[in-house]
Structure 1
Amino acid sequence: MLDGIRANAQSWGVKLAFGIIIVVFVFWGIGGQPGPRGIVATVNDRNITELEFRQVYAQLEQNVKNSMPGVTPDMLQSFGLEQSALQTLVMRKLLEAEAERVGVEISPYELRRAVESMPYFLDEDGKFDADIYLTTLKNAGQTASQFEDSLRQDLLPEKMQALLSAGAYVSPQSVRNMYDYQQEQRKVNYLLFPSEKHMAEAAPDQADIEAAYKERAPLYSMPPRVRLEYVALNPAELSDPSSIDDAAVAAAYEARKDSFFVPERVRAAHILILVPENASADELKKAEDRIKAIEERIRSGEDFAAVARETSQDPGSAAKGGDLDWFERGQMVPEFADVAFALTPGELSGPVRSPFGFHLIKVEDHQASTTRTLDEVKDELRAALAAEQAAAGLQDKADAVLAAVMGGQSVTAAAGAQGLEMKDTGLVSADQLGQTLGLRASDVQSVMSTPAGETLDAALATDAGLLVIRVAESLPAMTRPLDEVKDELVATLTRDKARKLAAEEAEQARKGFADGKPGADLLPEVKESEAFGREGYVPGLGLGMDLVRAVFAAPLKDAGKGVWLEGAFTVDDGAVLASLAEVLPPDDTAWVAEGPLREQQMLNERAAVMFQAYIMELSKNAKTRILMPELVQPKAAPQL
């Protein structure tokens, strides 16, 4: 679960960039040599440990299972997750080294903000709950220090991506062109040849049904399933904050005072003029002259935010008038931070040189470091202490329920005696079980291998608390029998065959067009569709990707000229012949509203491409050695 939490802290752009490493491996190669025990590979002078590798592999495996609930072990083998895990870690090590080179790090404030924003650690009011945080980590067998060190490693690529992609740019015209392309709509005139009239002749015989069932058997496979009776013990639900007196809260505050420290921070805005890493003296002077000219405009009275929107080359802040929000000293490169923290609110800096270019910095506010007072934190601290108290007695309650069930009581009765209730999962697969109850993979395996009628001999830990589980029913993997799926299979086969017959009818009619147009007998049947886009759905006809592609490929000059497209196109209700009736360009009013969002989307895409190119360059010059090839070698895909 913790890997999943950290995964949510990573940006899409970083994940997208992982794929580029595959190309690097293909063209630049990775050496393989035996090495020290526990070291999977080295990247320049940095080690990739076996523990790191196994953690990333487990995270990738869980991601696949979450997106493909029915995935089988054989399918997992075919995905080459070993290589993906290695590629991920190689990129991480390269970015760590690059971050050190330019002085970028994840500050304590950034780390805390990331932790406090994670939904896993929020209470019912949507506020960060330190007790939920610590309990979740404890149940997962990690300390806060271990989790935060790992999270810091995951956040660094995201921060590096933002810095390295700061020069991304798209022209207003290219944004508008893409918007027009995506939002253009068209209408068609069409003749529908319904599949309904062919349904009787399309009905399959028994031989067709049996052949189709055999061919589609994998579609009807069911994984092993279980039905569980369980009792959930959650410290957050069982806690009673009113039982914690003021003296206990005050004592806990003194003991935990360090956790309430708020570091010095600044709120500032900036204007950035980018300078390439290996800029020539001429390029450097041009950039410096430009930032000085911008400085002069602001000192002459122009609004900083307005000038930032016009001139700044930082896509992340330019649209916000250069606003960087609050940041701590360690969040910025030293050259930037040293100046920002020396300015007074309202003061404008002169040009500041950093690894990324020239900045003008304007400080809006400056807050000294402080420690939150007991008054400010007493409510959340009281709740945390109550939950800790409940957690301490949680195992005793679980043991009491377990002993009663083992002694012959029903789960319902045993739970009721402790003021708890029994719940039933219904029939669920292993993947559904992990998602529903939040069990670890090893615990899911234990549950799935427990015979029906038996109770697990120990309560299982989850992020929320403890579970006492009895397996009420257990079904093996199976293929649904033909009798069970026959009706839906017959309906599918009949519908598909009827559409095919309708398409043949339409093709025949198209051949009979005089001068490429339908005859008098068909003209009354011609209808005009509503407007539709490129997504594939045509109002009144349903899904028809082939039709939509052909319509949007038709020349603009053919619109309304009665030029019928070649061939017939299948849709939900049969087959159609069609001609382009009208082209509707996007509405300018909608563009005004959506343009900024579209520009940001294209900027994000361009930034991702820039980041990929940067990673490619780092990888090209890296010396990577595999020391445990047996661990990272992809498993052979099963033979079909």
Structure 2
Amino acid sequence: MAMKPRKLLLKLVTGVLFSLLILSFAVWGIGDIFRGSGQAQAVAEVGGTTIEQRQFAQELSNEINSMSRRLGVQLTMDQARAFGIPQQVLERMITRAMLDELSSRLGMLVTEEQMRKQLLENPDFQGAGGRFDRNRFAQVLRFSGMTEQGFLARAGEDIKRQQLVAAMTDAAVAPESLAERLFGYREERRTADYLRLANADFRDVGEPDTAALQEIYDSAGGELMTPAYKRIALVVLSVAEAARNFTISDARVEEAFESRKDEFSTPERRTVSQAVLPDEAAAKALADRISEGADFFSAVEQATGRPPVDLGSVARGDLPEELAAAVFELEDNRTTAPIRSPLGWHVATVSAIEPGSVATLEENRDKLRQELAEAEAIDSVIDLANRFDETLAGGATIEEAAERLNQQARQVPAIDAQARTPAGALVEGLPSINEFLPVLNRTPVGERSTLTETLDGDYFILRVDGETPAAKKPLAEVRDQVVELWRKREQARLAEEKATALAERVRGGETLAAVAGAEGLSLQQTAPVTRFENDPQRTPSPQLSQQIFDIAAGEVTTLAGTGQAAFSGDGGPAASATLHFPQGVAL
């Protein structure tokens, strides 16, 4: 049981280790950022590393922009402070600096193979086929303002930090008493009997009067509102559009295919298990027993005292050269003779073969032609963007600049914060939404955005010429919606009142089973659940899983919800709370 508590404490122990690491910097020196040291440009000092205001401001700006893209609205600095973003950024920068100081003192190095693996496996640099795409790599670097050398240097530092953290956490041992208590808290399980009252079962709620409808209408929010719409002028400098102006010869396509043929081909893969033995004699004895008919797995366990090592599905390049040569000559379900490699003596078996495929030029001709054209177009679009900026700097409007450079300036008469028209359709012909929406939403009426580059290599600029504010739809137009909102509120109120009354009967001495029988309800039971259970097959609600740990055995409680799959309503009336799974009240 000792392993489970240790795993649960991984984050806790990591935090403790970093706290000790911070204390150790009392010797190395970590600047007091709150007291002020007279160095106006230093936010913090860690050993010989200074975190400058400029660096902090840049990283903070990047984090705010990243959060804004995820939320679809540009955060102000006050909102960023409310989210705790400045403190998070500073803590992250200090932690990085501490790890960098420590890795430097330990003389840690990163191999070329580690760097190559980091680069090829980074999903940000992979194309549609899941393979490394150099054009995408170049676009990401340009978008983030980094050189290739700068990226590789930063990646190397990241690898060293990861190794250092892994070394510290792997070696950590928590006090047994603390581990046991936390393990018990997390793994304690309880079972609850419950009744479910569905809101929808309370059908007879009557009809609302005028005052009730007006109350619901006045308190309702976004569901009865029309969104705000902006009227904008937009210019997009598109790589895909520019690529149409480039003609790529067949010779260039063929040359690119030959140099990248492996990228489009699928290597043969084999499912391999092996035993590694100390010497040739032991390997030969094992191979002989298997060739005489012994089962591979049984023979390996008998010879080594442990099961074979399952290498899984591997390509030729995944194995040492000596082992790969033998393994990839085997037929299915055959075993190799003893093989010597720098790792020892091997006996391996192949249990499955996945044939590879060799790509042909015809299969990839159009794709390569497009990629080559877009690679050429990227430089063209960058040049066009620079000239566009220069034209704007000379006093031209975006329409005038577009006309001079033979580009199109579009007028979008109405676009909301999610880039949709009043009809609800997504506005067509927009650049990448993740980059476009924050710019759209933070640009005020009468202002022009900066020329912005997207991750795809496109550029865009917009000007907001007008705005129609958000407004509540007239009551007459949304009366049916308001009536439905009133009905749901009444159903939730009746369900809660009924559940409270049933709970009082149980507290008065009736059993839950007797109440269920009298009311025609089904008595149900959860599976044994922890405080953190959220599987709907085991519990009707994550909130129920938590709540049954707040009461003693034999006590009764109620839990309300509307049945919508969401998390909200905390702190509000039970009848209006929105829980994840219940469609009524459980007790």
Return the TM-score normalized by structure 2.
0.55
Q: Quick one: distance in 2 between partners of 1:459 and 1:71?
A: 17
Describe the shift of the 1:566–1:229 C-alpha distance in structure 2 as closer, same or farther (beyond 3 A): same
C-alpha distance in structure 2 between counterparts of 1:157 and 1:218, whole Å: 47
2:205 to 191, 200, 203: 200
Question: Are the structure 2 counterparts of residues 212 and 138 from structure 1 closer, same or farther at C-alpha, using a change threshold of 3 Å?
Answer: same
Deviations 1:567-596 (A, max 9, x none): 44435444344xxxxxxxxxxxxxxxxxxx
What is the CA deviation profile of residues 95-125 of structure 1, one whole-angstrom value per residue up to 9, with x for unaligned ones?
1122223332333433333233333333343
What amino acid is the match of 1:233?
S
Q: Distance in 2 between matches of 1:554 and 1:108?
A: 58
- Structure 1 residue aligned with 2:585, among 567, 571, 575? 575
Q: Secondary structure at the match of 2:195?
A: strand
- When structure 1 is superposed on structure 2, of 394-403 and 568-577 the one drifting more is 394-403
Q: 1:50 aligned to 2:50?
A: no
1:79 is aligned, of 60, 68, 83, to: 83
Q: Could you say what secondary structure the match of 1:438 adopts? A: helix
CA shift digits 1:200-236 (9 cap, x unpaired): 3695874795599569799979688566655451169
Q: In structure 2, give the amino acid aligned to 1:566.
A: V
Q: Is the 1:227–1:428 Cα contact (8 Å) retained in structure 2?
A: no
Distance 1:319 1:178 in 2: 32
Selected match of 1:238 from 243, 257, 268 = 243
Distance 2:132 2:117 in 1: 10
Cα deviation for residue 525 of structure 1 reads: 0.6
Instruction: Give distance in 2, aligned partners of 1:182 and 1:423.
Output: 56
How far the C-alpha of 1:144 sits from its partner, in A, is: 1.7
Q: Out of 103, 110, 113, which is 1:106 matched to? A: 110
Unaligned residue ranges in structure 2 (runs of 5+): 1-9, 260-275, 287-296, 321-338, 349-360, 420-425, 563-582
Q: Which amino acid aligns with 1:527?
A: S
Over the aligned positions, Cα root-mean-square deviation in angstroms equals: 6.4
Classify the secondary structure of the residue corresponding to 1:526.
Answer: coil
Identity of aligned residues (%): 14
Match of 1:501 in 2: 494
Task: Give deviations 1:22-70, integer Å, cap 9, x for gaps.
Answer: 9998999962333546432210222223343223323432443355445
Shift of the 247–423 alpha-carbon distance from structure 1 to 2, 3 Å rule, reads same
More deviation in 223-232 or 387-396? Answer: 223-232
Closer, same or farther in 2 for the Cα pair 1:127/1:444, shift >3 Å?
Answer: same
Deviations 1:330-388 (A, max 9, x none): xxxxxxxxxxxxxx962358xxxxxxxxxxx99x9xxxxxxxxxx9xx99999876544
Q: What's the CA shift for 1:140?
A: 4.3
* 1:135 Cα deviation after fit: 3.8
Equivalent pairs, count = 457
**Paired position in structure 2 for 1:516:** 510
Shift in Å at residue 92 of structure 1?
0.7
Does 84-93 or 222-231 show the bigger shift?
222-231
Q: Write the deviation string for residues 5-31 of structure 1: whole angstroms up to 9, x where unpaired.
A: xxxxxxxx9999689869998999962
Query: Matched residues in 2 for 1:548 and 1:15: separation?
Result: 24
- Checking the alignment, whether the CA contact within 8 Å between 1:235 and 1:394 is kept in structure 2 is no
Q: From the superposition, tell whether residues 61 and 161 of structure 1 become closer, same or farther in structure 2 (CA, over 3 Å).
A: same
C-alpha distance 67-480 of structure 1, shift in aligned 2 (>3 A): farther
Q: Which residue identity lines up with residue 570 of structure 1 in the other structure? A: A
Matched, 1:475 2:471: no
Change (3 A) 1:66 1:496: farther
CA distance in 2 between partners of 1:521 and 1:98 (Å): 64
Q: Which amino acid aligns with 2:453?
A: A
The amino acid across from 2:238 in the alignment is L
Q: Secondary structure at the match of 1:106?
A: coil
Q: What SS class does the counterpart of residue 556 from structure 2 fall into?
A: coil
Q: How does 1:582-621 map to 2 (within 5 A)?
A: none
Q: Residue 436 of structure 1 aligns with which residue?
A: 433
Distance in 1 of aligned mates of 2:449 and 2:221:
41
Q: Equivalent residue for 1:61?
A: 64
Q: How does 1:223-622 map to 2 (within 5 A)?
A: 229-234=234-239, 238=243, 242-243=248-249, 245=251, 346-348=341-343, 386-394=373-381, 406=399, 415=408, 426-428=415-417, 436=433, 438=435, 448-449=443-444, 451=446, 460-469=452-461, 471=463, 474-475=466-467, 478=470, 480=472, 483=475, 491-492=484-485, 494-512=487-505, 515-517=509-511, 522-523=517-518, 525-529=520-524, 534=529, 535=533, 544-545=541-542, 547-549=544-546, 566-572=556-562, 573-577=583-587
Instruction: Tell me the CA shift for residue 88 of structure 1.
Output: 0.9
1:190 corresponding residue in structure 2? 195
Look up the equivalent residue of 1:49 and give its one-letter code: E
Quote the offset at 1:79 in angstroms.
2.6
Q: Relative contact order, CA 8 A, sep 6+: which one is greater?
A: 1
Matches of 2:101 and 2:93, distance apart in 1? 12
Aligned counterparts of 1:437 and 1:508: Cα–Cα separation in 2: 51
Shift in CA distance, 190/84, structure 1 to aligned 2, threshold 3 Å: closer
Show CA shifts across 1:296-334 (max 9, x none): 89997699x989x999xxxxxx9979x9x9799xxxxxx
Output one character per residue of 1:164-207: Cα deviation in whole Å (capped at 9) or x when no partner: 33347999xx99x989x879896846363756537636958747
* SS of equivalent to 2:446: coil
Residue ranges of structure 1 left out of the alignment (5+ in a row): 1-12, 254-293, 312-317, 329-343, 350-360, 365-374, 578-640
- Closer, same or farther: CA 237–500 of 1 in aligned 2, 3 Å: same
- SS, match of residue 475 in structure 1: strand
Amino acid at match of 2:467: L
Segment of structure 1 superposing worse, 77-86 or 499-508: 499-508
Does structure 1 conserve the Cα–Cα contact (< 8 Å) formed by 2:236 and 2:459?
Answer: yes
**Which AA in structure 2 matches 1:389?**
E
The one-letter code of the counterpart of 2:205 is A
Read off the aligned partner of 2:446 and give its amino acid letter. P
Q: Say whether the 8 Å CA contact 2:195–2:586 is kept in structure 1.
A: yes
Counterpart for residue 161 of structure 1: 165
Structure 2 vs 1, CA of residues 114 and 471 (structure 1 numbering), >3 Å: closer, same or farther?
Answer: same
What is the CA-CA distance between 1:89 and the residue it aligns to?
1.3
| Number of the residue aligned with 2:273 | none
| TM-aligned CA distance change 1:295 to 1:249, over 3 Å | closer
Matches within 5 A, 1:18-29: none
CA contact (8 A) 1:228 1:472 kept: yes
Query: Does the Cα contact within 8 Å between 1:226 and 1:448 map onto a contact in 2?
Result: no
Letter in 1 for 2:416: L
Q: Secondary structure at 2:416's aligned position in 1?
A: strand
